[in-house]
Structure 1
Amino acid sequence: MQRDERRLVRHLAWVLAVKLLALAGLWWGFVRDQRLSPDAASAAQHIVAPTPASGGSR
């Protein structure tokens, strides 16, 4: 591997590490404490709910 190729690989590794840290930080700050615990009744209600009519006049 040539010097320029090693430099590119090292640069890409740093960019990837920074992106992973940014994603982990965003998850930690905004998503970590969110909980979703649907029960069977609410899930069934959501599935069988009527779809809104596509209104609009042509």
Structure 2
Amino acid sequence: MSWIAGDLMFVHAGIRPGVPLERQDPNDLIWFRDEFLYLDGPLPKFVIHGHTP
């Protein structure tokens, strides 16, 4: 569902802020968008994502 390489994290849609990376819900990695896109703060990794309609 995700791949981490150093400070980079690759996912399909996004991650849920405030949830440790190892506890992210696989469904969120595929579908979670709005709260992730509009987050104004740091994340534990630089997240590269797709999920463009």
The structure in which a higher percent of residues are helix is 1
The structure in which a higher percent of residues are strand is 2
TM-score, normalization by structure 1: 0.16
Higher relative contact order (CA 8 A, sep 6+): 2
TM-score, normalization by structure 2: 0.17
